[in-house]
Each structure stands twice: as C-alpha cells, then as structure tokens.
Structure 1
C-alpha cells in the first residue's frame, strides 16, 4: 500500500480511538494456573521425557495426575 493511501493517525478521530483501546500484553491468563516448584528426578526419567519433544513437562504433569487418580 503506497504511503499516500495510509490514514493520518494523528487526527482527533484516531487519537480518540487509540485512547479508548484496551491494551493487552502477553497471552491470556489461564483459568487454572500452575505453581512453580523444584522437583528432583532421576536423569534417565528426565531424559526419556525430554526425548518425547516439546510438551514434555505437560506430559509429566498428566502422568502424575493419572498416577494419583486426579
């Protein structure tokens, strides 16, 4: 789009629209949040989970839930 076709964002119309716009940053907050903790695991257990690729921490969480019947 050529520069001549762009609206002038310094006009009162756009200044008012920008002033009313809600500012959001980052991802939306989850309904259920996680708690950061430190957990000591055997190296082979950790290596096996990491080898499954991205999402390995979530898989550990799911396996713990299943083991505890939650």
Structure 2
C-alpha cells in the first residue's frame, strides 16, 4: 500500500470569517494588511531565485593553461577567474582594433 498521504483539504473562510480576520488584522499595529501598492510590487519568489541574469552571458568551455599562469591568477585571491577573463578581454580589444 502506498505511504503517500492524501493532500489536506483546504477550506476557505466564509464571508463572515473573512470579515472577522480582516478586522483583527487591522486592529493589530504589527500585522497590517498590505496596501494595493505593496501587493502590486510583489514578485513571485521563483523569479528572485539564483544569481541575477547577466547581459553578457559567458560560454562554458574546457581549456588548458600552463600551471604557472593558473598559479599566478589563483594567488591573486578570490575572483581570479574573472580577473583572468578581464586580461583576455583586454588582449582581444587591443588586438582587434589594429586588425
């Protein structure tokens, strides 16, 4: 037999119960209902998850560098891969102008 439990039944409040809940919320200064402006500003949590999307998407590739190059950039601390990307970008911009 399956051990999956049945979903609980969700019972919506009646109009009278809803009115009582709203009145109780309005009387509590620490639990005020959201204003229409606040509700409009809300976004689904799903859209806030993860790292923000970059305008400059990078490609995932596999490349081999000499140990000295990797050791140097790693010795510069956290963010060494971004610094390495910056150096390569500078190289590309300098050499693409003269071409």
Same fold by TM-score, threshold 0.5 exceeded?
Answer: yes
- The residue that corresponds to 2:53 in the other structure is 29
Give unmatched runs, 5+ long, in structure 2.
1-29, 34-38, 95-99
Q: Which runs of 4+ in 1 moved over 4 A?
A: none
TM value normalised by structure 2: 0.48
Q: Alignment partner for residue 64 of structure 2, among 40, 62, 65?
A: 40
TM-score by length of 1: 0.65
Structure 1: gaps spanning 5 or more residues: 1-5, 8-12
**How many residues are aligned here?**
57
Say what the alpha-carbon RMSD is for the aligned residues: 2.2
